[in-house]
Structure 1
Amino acid sequence: MLFAVGGGGDPERHRPLLDHFTAQGHQVIAPSFPRLHPQQATWDDYLARPLGLVEALRDVAPDAEVAVIGHSIGAWAGLCLAGATPWSKEGEPLDVPRDSRVSRLVLYTPPAGWFAAPGALDAVKVPILAYVGELDTFVPASEVEVLKTAPAEVDLRVVPKAGHFSFVHVPPPGMDEDPEFDRDRFLAAMVDETYEFVTTG
Protein backbone atom coordinates (compact mmCIF):
# COMPACT_ATOMS: atom_id res chain seq x y z
CA MET A 1 0.00 0.00 0.00
CA LEU A 2 1.33 3.42 -0.99
CA PHE A 3 0.02 6.25 1.15
CA ALA A 4 0.03 9.74 -0.36
CA VAL A 5 -0.19 12.37 2.36
CA GLY A 6 -1.98 15.70 1.99
CA GLY A 7 -0.57 19.22 2.02
CA GLY A 8 0.81 18.96 5.54
CA GLY A 9 3.30 16.37 4.34
CA ASP A 10 3.34 14.23 7.51
CA PRO A 11 1.93 10.69 7.13
CA GLU A 12 2.15 10.21 10.91
CA ARG A 13 -1.16 12.08 11.13
CA HIS A 14 -2.70 8.96 9.57
CA ARG A 15 -0.86 6.46 11.76
CA PRO A 16 -3.90 4.28 12.77
CA LEU A 17 -4.72 3.70 9.10
CA LEU A 18 -1.14 2.80 8.24
CA ASP A 19 -0.79 0.55 11.27
CA HIS A 20 -3.96 -1.33 10.35
CA PHE A 21 -2.45 -2.38 7.02
CA THR A 22 0.90 -3.20 8.59
CA ALA A 23 -0.75 -5.35 11.25
CA GLN A 24 -2.41 -7.41 8.52
CA GLY A 25 0.96 -8.14 6.90
CA HIS A 26 0.91 -5.59 4.07
CA GLN A 27 3.92 -3.59 3.00
CA VAL A 28 3.17 0.08 3.65
CA ILE A 29 5.11 2.88 1.97
CA ALA A 30 4.28 6.36 3.25
CA PRO A 31 6.80 9.03 2.23
CA SER A 32 6.93 12.43 3.92
CA PHE A 33 6.92 15.68 1.96
CA PRO A 34 7.58 19.35 2.70
CA ARG A 35 4.46 21.27 3.68
CA LEU A 36 2.64 22.59 0.65
CA HIS A 37 1.06 26.06 0.87
CA PRO A 38 -1.49 26.35 -1.96
CA GLN A 39 -1.38 30.14 -2.04
CA GLN A 40 2.38 30.16 -2.71
CA ALA A 41 2.84 26.77 -4.38
CA THR A 42 4.34 26.57 -7.86
CA TRP A 43 3.70 23.82 -10.41
CA ASP A 44 7.04 22.29 -9.42
CA ASP A 45 5.78 22.04 -5.82
CA TYR A 46 2.73 20.12 -6.96
CA LEU A 47 4.67 17.96 -9.40
CA ALA A 48 7.02 16.95 -6.58
CA ARG A 49 4.20 14.90 -5.06
CA PRO A 50 3.64 12.32 -7.83
CA LEU A 51 7.37 12.32 -8.58
CA GLY A 52 8.06 11.54 -4.93
CA LEU A 53 5.53 8.72 -4.94
CA VAL A 54 7.16 7.11 -7.97
CA GLU A 55 10.55 7.43 -6.29
CA ALA A 56 9.14 5.77 -3.15
CA LEU A 57 8.18 2.76 -5.28
CA ARG A 58 11.67 2.41 -6.74
CA ASP A 59 12.45 -0.83 -4.89
CA VAL A 60 9.00 -2.38 -5.38
CA ALA A 61 8.85 -5.24 -7.89
CA PRO A 62 7.84 -4.14 -11.40
CA ASP A 63 4.99 -6.67 -11.46
CA ALA A 64 3.61 -5.78 -8.02
CA GLU A 65 0.10 -4.46 -7.52
CA VAL A 66 0.06 -1.19 -5.61
CA ALA A 67 -3.02 0.25 -3.94
CA VAL A 68 -2.70 4.01 -3.54
CA ILE A 69 -4.49 5.73 -0.67
CA GLY A 70 -4.31 9.51 -0.56
CA HIS A 71 -5.69 12.54 1.21
CA SER A 72 -6.27 15.87 -0.55
CA ILE A 73 -3.27 16.71 -2.76
CA GLY A 74 -2.01 13.18 -2.10
CA ALA A 75 -5.23 11.86 -3.63
CA TRP A 76 -4.58 14.14 -6.62
CA ALA A 77 -1.10 12.67 -6.96
CA GLY A 78 -2.51 9.15 -6.79
CA LEU A 79 -4.89 9.94 -9.64
CA CYS A 80 -1.96 11.21 -11.68
CA LEU A 81 -0.08 7.95 -11.17
CA ALA A 82 -3.17 6.00 -12.25
CA GLY A 83 -3.34 7.86 -15.57
CA ALA A 84 -5.31 11.07 -14.94
CA THR A 85 -4.16 14.22 -16.74
CA PRO A 86 -4.43 17.44 -14.73
CA TRP A 87 -5.10 20.68 -16.59
CA SER A 88 -3.70 24.10 -15.78
CA LYS A 89 -5.79 27.21 -15.11
CA GLU A 90 -4.70 28.34 -18.56
CA GLY A 91 -6.42 25.33 -20.12
CA GLU A 92 -3.34 23.27 -20.91
CA PRO A 93 -2.76 19.56 -20.11
CA LEU A 94 0.10 19.01 -17.68
CA ASP A 95 2.69 16.26 -17.94
CA VAL A 96 2.80 14.06 -14.82
CA PRO A 97 4.43 10.71 -13.98
CA ARG A 98 2.46 7.47 -14.28
CA ASP A 99 2.92 4.06 -12.72
CA SER A 100 1.36 0.97 -14.26
CA ARG A 101 1.49 -0.87 -10.91
CA VAL A 102 -1.40 1.17 -9.47
CA SER A 103 -4.23 -1.33 -9.06
CA ARG A 104 -6.71 0.52 -6.82
CA LEU A 105 -7.29 4.03 -5.54
CA VAL A 106 -8.78 5.20 -2.25
CA LEU A 107 -9.17 8.97 -2.34
CA TYR A 108 -10.04 11.15 0.63
CA THR A 109 -11.23 14.62 -0.47
CA PRO A 110 -9.44 14.60 -3.86
CA PRO A 111 -9.18 18.07 -5.50
CA ALA A 112 -10.73 16.76 -8.69
CA GLY A 113 -11.18 20.13 -10.36
CA TRP A 114 -7.77 19.60 -11.95
CA PHE A 115 -9.40 16.80 -14.01
CA ALA A 116 -12.57 18.55 -15.17
CA ALA A 117 -11.42 18.89 -18.80
CA PRO A 118 -12.98 16.44 -21.26
CA GLY A 119 -10.98 13.23 -21.40
CA ALA A 120 -8.77 14.05 -18.42
CA LEU A 121 -9.75 10.81 -16.68
CA ASP A 122 -10.04 8.56 -19.74
CA ALA A 123 -6.91 6.56 -18.84
CA VAL A 124 -8.00 5.86 -15.25
CA LYS A 125 -9.38 2.33 -15.32
CA VAL A 126 -8.61 0.99 -11.84
CA PRO A 127 -11.39 0.77 -9.21
CA ILE A 128 -11.84 3.91 -7.10
CA LEU A 129 -13.29 4.43 -3.64
CA ALA A 130 -13.61 8.17 -3.01
CA TYR A 131 -14.78 10.10 0.03
CA VAL A 132 -15.61 13.78 0.35
CA GLY A 133 -17.06 15.71 3.26
CA GLU A 134 -20.47 17.30 2.94
CA LEU A 135 -19.09 20.42 4.65
CA ASP A 136 -15.68 20.49 2.95
CA THR A 137 -14.85 24.09 2.04
CA PHE A 138 -11.57 23.20 0.31
CA VAL A 139 -12.93 20.51 -2.02
CA PRO A 140 -16.69 20.84 -2.51
CA ALA A 141 -18.54 17.56 -2.89
CA SER A 142 -19.83 18.68 -6.31
CA GLU A 143 -16.23 18.96 -7.57
CA VAL A 144 -15.55 15.29 -6.91
CA GLU A 145 -18.47 14.19 -9.10
CA VAL A 146 -16.14 14.45 -12.10
CA LEU A 147 -14.54 11.16 -11.02
CA LYS A 148 -17.62 9.41 -12.38
CA THR A 149 -16.48 10.30 -15.91
CA ALA A 150 -13.57 7.86 -15.60
CA PRO A 151 -14.03 4.49 -17.35
CA ALA A 152 -13.64 2.78 -13.99
CA GLU A 153 -15.70 1.42 -11.15
CA VAL A 154 -16.18 4.51 -8.95
CA ASP A 155 -17.73 4.38 -5.48
CA LEU A 156 -18.17 8.01 -4.40
CA ARG A 157 -19.30 8.62 -0.83
CA VAL A 158 -20.34 12.02 0.50
CA VAL A 159 -19.91 11.92 4.28
CA PRO A 160 -22.59 13.89 6.16
CA LYS A 161 -21.29 16.70 8.41
CA ALA A 162 -17.66 15.90 7.56
CA GLY A 163 -15.09 18.53 6.55
CA HIS A 164 -11.78 18.44 4.74
CA PHE A 165 -9.76 17.22 7.73
CA SER A 166 -12.33 14.74 9.04
CA PHE A 167 -10.31 12.02 7.26
CA VAL A 168 -7.11 12.76 9.19
CA HIS A 169 -6.55 11.04 12.53
CA VAL A 170 -4.54 13.99 13.86
CA PRO A 171 -5.97 17.11 12.17
CA PRO A 172 -4.21 20.48 12.14
CA PRO A 173 -4.65 22.60 15.28
CA GLY A 174 -7.81 24.66 15.44
CA MET A 175 -9.84 22.52 13.05
CA ASP A 176 -13.28 22.12 14.63
CA GLU A 177 -15.80 19.51 13.55
CA ASP A 178 -19.52 19.97 13.22
CA PRO A 179 -21.00 19.00 16.62
CA GLU A 180 -23.16 16.38 14.91
CA PHE A 181 -20.15 14.60 13.39
CA ASP A 182 -18.94 11.56 15.35
CA ARG A 183 -15.28 11.70 14.35
CA ASP A 184 -14.00 8.60 16.16
CA ARG A 185 -16.81 6.42 14.91
CA PHE A 186 -16.35 7.61 11.34
CA LEU A 187 -12.58 7.12 11.30
CA ALA A 188 -12.91 3.57 12.61
CA ALA A 189 -15.43 2.76 9.87
CA MET A 190 -13.30 4.51 7.23
CA VAL A 191 -10.26 2.39 8.07
CA ASP A 192 -12.31 -0.81 7.85
CA GLU A 193 -13.97 0.21 4.58
CA THR A 194 -10.65 1.25 3.07
CA TYR A 195 -9.01 -2.03 4.01
CA GLU A 196 -11.92 -4.08 2.66
CA PHE A 197 -11.87 -2.20 -0.64
CA VAL A 198 -8.13 -2.60 -1.08
CA THR A 199 -7.99 -6.29 -0.21
CA THR A 200 -11.13 -7.67 -1.89
CA GLY A 201 -12.39 -7.84 -5.41
Structure 2
Amino acid sequence: MSVILESENPRGILLFAPGAGGDPTRYERLFAAANAAGFVVASPEHELTETFADDEVRERVVALRSLLDDVALVDLPVVAAGHSLGGFAALCLAGAHPRNRAGEAIEVPSEPRVERAVVIAPATGWFSGEDGLTDVQVPVAVLVGGDDAVTPPGTAEILRTAPSHVELISYEGVGHFDFMSPLPEGKTPVVEDHDAFTERFLADFVAALG
Protein backbone atom coordinates (compact mmCIF):
# COMPACT_ATOMS: atom_id res chain seq x y z
CA MET A 1 0.00 0.00 0.00
CA SER A 2 1.24 3.48 -0.85
CA VAL A 3 2.00 5.84 2.02
CA ILE A 4 0.50 9.34 2.21
CA LEU A 5 1.06 11.46 5.31
CA GLU A 6 -0.96 14.68 5.48
CA SER A 7 0.21 17.87 7.17
CA GLU A 8 -1.99 20.43 8.90
CA ASN A 9 -0.07 23.40 7.53
CA PRO A 10 2.02 21.96 4.71
CA ARG A 11 4.89 23.86 3.13
CA GLY A 12 5.70 21.31 0.47
CA ILE A 13 5.15 17.85 -0.96
CA LEU A 14 7.74 15.10 -0.70
CA LEU A 15 7.45 12.42 -3.38
CA PHE A 16 9.63 9.58 -2.16
CA ALA A 17 10.43 6.49 -4.22
CA PRO A 18 11.58 3.36 -2.34
CA GLY A 19 14.43 1.13 -3.47
CA ALA A 20 14.23 -2.04 -5.52
CA GLY A 21 12.39 -3.86 -2.74
CA GLY A 22 9.50 -1.45 -3.25
CA ASP A 23 8.47 -1.26 0.40
CA PRO A 24 7.86 2.30 1.64
CA THR A 25 7.48 1.14 5.25
CA ARG A 26 11.27 0.75 5.38
CA TYR A 27 11.54 4.53 5.53
CA GLU A 28 9.21 5.21 8.45
CA ARG A 29 11.61 7.42 10.38
CA LEU A 30 12.49 9.43 7.29
CA PHE A 31 8.81 10.01 6.50
CA ALA A 32 8.09 11.03 10.08
CA ALA A 33 10.96 13.53 10.06
CA ALA A 34 9.87 15.08 6.75
CA ASN A 35 6.25 15.21 7.88
CA ALA A 36 7.22 16.89 11.14
CA ALA A 37 9.10 19.47 9.07
CA GLY A 38 5.87 20.41 7.30
CA PHE A 39 5.86 18.16 4.23
CA VAL A 40 3.03 16.08 2.90
CA VAL A 41 4.71 12.74 2.23
CA ALA A 42 3.68 10.44 -0.60
CA SER A 43 5.44 7.18 -1.43
CA PRO A 44 4.30 4.35 -3.72
CA GLU A 45 4.56 0.63 -3.04
CA HIS A 46 5.96 -1.77 -5.66
CA GLU A 47 6.71 -5.42 -6.18
CA LEU A 48 10.36 -6.40 -5.76
CA THR A 49 12.39 -5.50 -8.86
CA GLU A 50 15.18 -7.93 -9.74
CA THR A 51 15.56 -7.72 -13.54
CA PHE A 52 15.44 -3.91 -13.93
CA ALA A 53 13.79 -4.22 -17.32
CA ASP A 54 12.86 -1.01 -19.11
CA ASP A 55 9.16 -1.39 -18.34
CA GLU A 56 9.85 -2.05 -14.66
CA VAL A 57 12.00 1.02 -14.12
CA ARG A 58 9.64 3.17 -16.20
CA GLU A 59 6.76 2.08 -13.97
CA ARG A 60 8.67 3.31 -10.92
CA VAL A 61 8.77 6.82 -12.37
CA VAL A 62 5.15 6.76 -13.54
CA ALA A 63 3.92 5.60 -10.13
CA LEU A 64 5.86 8.32 -8.32
CA ARG A 65 4.49 11.00 -10.61
CA SER A 66 0.91 9.73 -10.30
CA LEU A 67 0.91 10.31 -6.53
CA LEU A 68 0.75 14.04 -7.17
CA ASP A 69 -2.79 13.54 -8.42
CA ASP A 70 -3.68 11.77 -5.17
CA VAL A 71 -2.26 14.58 -3.05
CA ALA A 72 -4.09 17.21 -5.14
CA LEU A 73 -2.37 20.25 -3.60
CA VAL A 74 -1.48 22.18 -6.71
CA ASP A 75 0.03 25.26 -5.08
CA LEU A 76 2.77 23.56 -3.05
CA PRO A 77 6.40 23.06 -4.14
CA VAL A 78 7.44 19.49 -4.81
CA VAL A 79 10.62 17.67 -3.79
CA ALA A 80 11.41 14.42 -5.61
CA ALA A 81 13.43 12.01 -3.51
CA GLY A 82 14.28 8.35 -3.32
CA HIS A 83 16.69 5.63 -2.27
CA SER A 84 18.68 3.45 -4.67
CA LEU A 85 16.33 2.64 -7.60
CA GLY A 86 14.03 5.24 -6.08
CA GLY A 87 16.79 7.81 -6.55
CA PHE A 88 16.71 6.95 -10.24
CA ALA A 89 12.96 7.63 -10.31
CA ALA A 90 13.35 10.96 -8.50
CA LEU A 91 16.04 12.11 -10.92
CA CYS A 92 13.81 11.25 -13.86
CA LEU A 93 11.04 13.45 -12.47
CA ALA A 94 13.65 16.20 -12.12
CA GLY A 95 14.43 15.97 -15.85
CA ALA A 96 17.01 13.19 -16.26
CA HIS A 97 16.92 11.05 -19.42
CA PRO A 98 17.61 7.36 -18.82
CA ARG A 99 18.99 4.91 -21.37
CA ASN A 100 19.26 1.13 -21.15
CA ARG A 101 22.43 -0.90 -21.64
CA ALA A 102 21.89 -0.89 -25.40
CA GLY A 103 21.87 2.90 -25.36
CA GLU A 104 18.17 3.10 -26.14
CA ALA A 105 16.14 5.87 -24.53
CA ILE A 106 13.64 4.83 -21.86
CA GLU A 107 10.67 7.14 -22.13
CA VAL A 108 9.72 8.40 -18.68
CA PRO A 109 7.68 11.36 -17.44
CA SER A 110 9.20 14.40 -15.83
CA GLU A 111 7.39 16.78 -13.51
CA PRO A 112 7.76 20.56 -13.91
CA ARG A 113 6.55 21.17 -10.35
CA VAL A 114 9.66 19.50 -8.92
CA GLU A 115 11.81 22.27 -7.42
CA ARG A 116 14.61 20.10 -6.04
CA ALA A 117 15.72 16.47 -5.81
CA VAL A 118 17.21 14.62 -2.85
CA VAL A 119 18.61 11.21 -3.72
CA ILE A 120 20.05 8.61 -1.37
CA ALA A 121 22.59 6.07 -2.66
CA PRO A 122 21.05 6.52 -6.12
CA ALA A 123 21.26 4.07 -9.01
CA THR A 124 22.83 6.21 -11.74
CA GLY A 125 23.91 3.84 -14.51
CA TRP A 126 20.95 4.79 -16.69
CA PHE A 127 22.22 8.37 -17.00
CA SER A 128 25.59 7.74 -18.68
CA GLY A 129 24.38 8.97 -22.08
CA GLU A 130 25.38 12.43 -23.29
CA ASP A 131 21.89 13.77 -22.63
CA GLY A 132 21.40 11.91 -19.35
CA LEU A 133 21.48 14.92 -17.05
CA THR A 134 21.42 17.93 -19.38
CA ASP A 135 17.84 18.85 -18.45
CA VAL A 136 18.22 18.55 -14.68
CA GLN A 137 17.87 22.22 -13.83
CA VAL A 138 16.87 21.97 -10.15
CA PRO A 139 19.22 21.68 -7.16
CA VAL A 140 20.17 18.10 -6.32
CA ALA A 141 21.35 16.81 -2.95
CA VAL A 142 23.06 13.42 -3.03
CA LEU A 143 23.62 11.38 0.13
CA VAL A 144 25.83 8.30 -0.16
CA GLY A 145 27.44 5.71 2.08
CA GLY A 146 31.18 5.31 1.97
CA ASP A 147 30.92 1.52 2.39
CA ASP A 148 28.00 0.99 0.00
CA ALA A 149 28.61 -2.19 -2.02
CA VAL A 150 25.32 -1.93 -3.98
CA THR A 151 25.61 1.60 -5.36
CA PRO A 152 29.22 2.54 -4.54
CA PRO A 153 29.71 6.21 -3.73
CA GLY A 154 31.81 6.78 -6.83
CA THR A 155 28.84 6.04 -9.06
CA ALA A 156 27.17 9.23 -7.83
CA GLU A 157 29.95 11.41 -9.24
CA ILE A 158 28.23 11.45 -12.65
CA LEU A 159 25.53 13.63 -11.12
CA ARG A 160 28.03 16.48 -10.89
CA THR A 161 27.72 16.82 -14.68
CA ALA A 162 24.17 18.16 -14.30
CA PRO A 163 23.96 21.90 -15.06
CA SER A 164 22.27 22.59 -11.72
CA HIS A 165 23.78 22.88 -8.25
CA VAL A 166 24.71 19.41 -6.96
CA GLU A 167 25.70 18.83 -3.35
CA LEU A 168 27.18 15.46 -2.45
CA ILE A 169 27.37 14.27 1.17
CA SER A 170 29.26 11.05 1.92
CA TYR A 171 29.03 9.17 5.21
CA GLU A 172 32.11 7.17 6.15
CA GLY A 173 31.47 3.57 7.21
CA VAL A 174 27.86 3.53 6.01
CA GLY A 175 26.34 0.79 3.83
CA HIS A 176 23.51 0.73 1.33
CA PHE A 177 20.76 -0.46 3.65
CA ASP A 178 21.83 1.72 6.59
CA PHE A 179 19.68 4.55 5.22
CA MET A 180 16.56 2.47 5.92
CA SER A 181 14.79 2.47 9.25
CA PRO A 182 13.56 -0.06 10.09
CA LEU A 183 16.11 -2.23 8.31
CA PRO A 184 14.87 -4.96 5.95
CA GLU A 185 14.42 -8.39 7.47
CA GLY A 186 17.70 -10.27 7.62
CA LYS A 187 19.85 -7.18 7.08
CA THR A 188 22.35 -6.00 9.68
CA PRO A 189 23.78 -2.49 9.65
CA VAL A 190 27.25 -1.79 8.33
CA VAL A 191 27.54 1.41 10.33
CA GLU A 192 28.64 0.94 13.93
CA ASP A 193 25.77 2.81 15.60
CA HIS A 194 22.75 2.67 13.31
CA ASP A 195 20.48 4.73 15.52
CA ALA A 196 22.98 7.56 15.94
CA PHE A 197 23.70 7.56 12.22
CA THR A 198 19.99 7.66 11.41
CA GLU A 199 19.54 10.78 13.52
CA ARG A 200 22.43 12.49 11.75
CA PHE A 201 21.27 11.38 8.31
CA LEU A 202 17.68 12.49 8.89
CA ALA A 203 18.83 15.94 9.99
CA ASP A 204 20.79 16.26 6.74
CA PHE A 205 17.87 14.93 4.69
CA VAL A 206 15.37 17.38 6.16
CA ALA A 207 17.81 20.26 5.67
CA ALA A 208 18.18 19.25 2.01
CA LEU A 209 14.43 19.53 1.47
CA GLY A 210 14.78 23.30 1.63
Q: Does the 8 Å contact 1:63/1:101 carry over to 2?
A: no
Aligned-residue Cα RMSD (Å) equals 1.5
Select which of 113, 118, 121 maps to 2:125: 113
Alignment partners' CA distance in 1, 2:54 and 2:132: 18
Q: How many percent identity over aligned positions? A: 35
Aligned residue in 2 for 1:81: 93
Q: Does 1:139 align with 2:151?
A: yes
Q: Does 1:9 align with 2:22?
A: yes
Shift of 1:106: 1.0
Aligned residue type for 2:94 = A
Q: Does the 8 Å contact 1:4/1:74 carry over to 2?
A: yes
**Equivalent residues in 2 for 1:158-177 (5 A)?**
158-177=170-189
Q: Structure 2 stretches of 5 or more lacking a match?
A: 1-13
Aligned residue in 1 for 2:64: 53
Higher share in strand: 2
Alignment partners' CA distance in 1, 2:23 and 2:49: 11
- Residue by residue over 1:33-90, the C-alpha shift from the partner in whole angstroms, topping out at 9 and shown as x without a partner, is 12212xx342211111000011111143444310122101111000001100111101
Alignment partners' CA distance in 2, 1:193 and 1:122: 26
Q: Does the 8 Å contact 2:58/2:106 carry over to 1?
A: no
Alignment partners' CA distance in 1, 2:133 and 2:97: 7
- Residue by residue over 1:110-130, the C-alpha shift from the partner in whole angstroms, topping out at 9 and shown as x without a partner, is 011211122310100111111
> Secondary structure, in 3 states, of the residue corresponding to 1:28?
strand
Aligned residue in 1 for 2:141: 129
Q: Does the 8 Å contact 2:37/2:206 carry over to 1?
A: no
Q: Does 1:30 align with 2:30?
A: no
Q: Provide the TM-score with structure 1 as the length reference.
A: 0.91
Alignment partners' CA distance in 2, 1:57 and 1:26: 13
Q: Does the 8 Å contact 1:113/1:144 carry over to 2?
A: no
- Residue by residue over 1:138-171, the C-alpha shift from the partner in whole angstroms, topping out at 9 and shown as x without a partner, is 1111111000000111111221111111111122
Shift of 1:108: 0.6
Select which of 91, 98, 101 maps to 2:113: 101
Q: Structure 1 stretches of 5 or more lacking a match?
A: none
Alignment partners' CA distance in 2, 1:17 and 1:177: 17
Alignment partners' CA distance in 2, 1:197 and 1:133: 16
